[in-house]
Each structure stands twice: as structure tokens, then as C-alpha cells.
Amino acid sequence: MSQRRAVLKTIALRKVYRTGSLDVPALQGIDMEIKAGEFVSIMGPSGCGKTTLLQILGGLSAPTSGQVFIDGVDLASVSDAVRTRMRCLKIGFVFQRFNLLSTLTVQANIEIARQIYGGEPVTRDEVGDLLEIVHLRHKLDYKPLELSVGEQQRVAIARALVNKPAMILADEPTGNLDSRNSEQVLRLLSDLNREKQQTIVMITHNPEAAEMGNRVIEMLDGQIRSHGTVAELVEEPERARSQAR
């Protein structure tokens, strides 16, 4: 893994929100690197800064200071237009709320993710192939409200793949799903990573979901507290307690 190029890198990333006369730090110096083909889970309690981090990584929000590199390009060094195009073509977003357009078919929801940013038109066969990955080719002409919530999230994953992004950013992708659908979506993300070497960064507060990643970054109070596998993060406190006895 260490031989692969960095798809994403941050240096001294900080974000401070101003509330009246009060400065509220959300991120306090985040240094991280995601290699091509990794599946990284970012976990931590509510309010730890993980969603703020994901928004900055995806170019949806600007940091107060620090740098974000996507495929080696510093987001702060390019124009708004270039940054927007990079965000659309280099990053596939999967949100907790699926953000599908209810009046459009599944096919059209996927097509628009390519068309809206001036990309080459996507054919019906190409959309079908994407839906095959998420086991929904037969739902090509359905509308979102005709699908289960689990199927809607799988369509959202197919839409995230349409521009062949360098990485997928998934923000609590199982947050609105029951346990059965959560398992299916997590397994799908894992299969994409393992079989197609898709780089995935997933925000979650659930340790069981985080286990699907091959690396976990644990956040607390706007900082990276630790990183490693889930097993390593569980074992570390146990080891410390044993040594203190």
C-alpha cells in the first residue's frame, strides 16, 4: 500500500467557525494521507469534526488554514471553476440522505451526474453496467419512490461511480438504513474496494461499520486521536490498562 500514489493529502488542516465574538475550532491541525485503493473509515463521536473534515476534503467547504491535495493538486491553488470541476470528476459523494431527484428515473438520476458538469453523455448500457455493480440493473426505469431505502442508497452509490472518480467520500452511508440494508451497503462498498480497487473514505460513528475499512482514523475534539485497524484501536486501551496494573 505504501508504494501507491496519494489520492488525498492534508497538511495542518484547521477550521474555525465564528459565532458572534467567539471562535469555535472544529478542526485543529489535521495531517492525513489516503493512498489509492485504500478503504479508510473516519470515526468518532458527534461533534468531533469528522463531517467538517469530509466537507473540506470534498471541496464543499474551505479550511481556515492548511492545505488539501486531490490527486496531487492543491485545491487552494486553482480557480473556483477548476475546483468545482475537480470535485465533480475526481470525487464521488454518497450521502446519508440519498439526494436522488424524485421526478427522474434511476437512469436519469445517474445520467445527470455526468451531464450537469459537461461530461460526455452516458449511454443506457453504461448506466445498466453501473447498476449491475449494485445489483439493480432491473430497476433502470424505476423512480426513487418506487425503490426501498436500501435500493435508493445503492443507486446513489452507482451515481457516485459514473464519472470514475479517484475516490468516493461516503458520509454516514448507512445512517438512514436498517441493519439488513446497512449490511448490504457496507458489503457493496467493501466489494468495490476489494474487486475494483476503488478508493473509499467513509465517515461513521459505528465501530461495526468502521470494520469494513482496512484502516481506521479515530477523531476526537477536532484532532486525529489515533489510526490503525479497528482491532488495534480496541487493543490499545486494553494494553495500556494491563501495563498500568
pLDDT reading at 242 higher than 80 = no
What is the CA 21 to chain-centroid distance, rounded? Answer: 33
- The CATH number that applies at residue 35 is 3.40.50.300
Is residue 14 very low, low, confident or very high in pLDDT (cuts 50, 70, 90)? very high
Say how many domains are in the chain: 1
Q: Rg for the chain (alpha carbons), in Å? A: 19
pLDDT reading at 23 higher than 70 = yes
Average pLDDT over residues 191-206: 94
pLDDT at 89: 85
Domain encompassing residue 41: 6-244
Average pLDDT over residues 192-207: 94
Do 169 and 57 form a contact (C-beta atoms < 8 A)? Answer: yes
In a domain, 40, yes or no: yes
pLDDT reading at 240 higher than 50 = no
pLDDT at 1: 43
Is residue 228 very low, low, confident or very high in pLDDT (cuts 50, 70, 90)? confident
CB atoms within 10 A of CB 29: 15
In a domain, 168, yes or no: yes
pLDDT at 6: 85
pLDDT reading at 79 higher than 70 = yes
In a domain, 1, yes or no: no
Helices (runs of H) and strands (runs of E) counted in the chain: 8, 10
In a domain, 81, yes or no: yes
Please state, in angstroms and as integers, the Cα–Cα distance from residue 186 to each residue in 130, 135, 162, following that order: 17, 14, 19
Is residue 2 very low, low, confident or very high in pLDDT (cuts 50, 70, 90)? very low
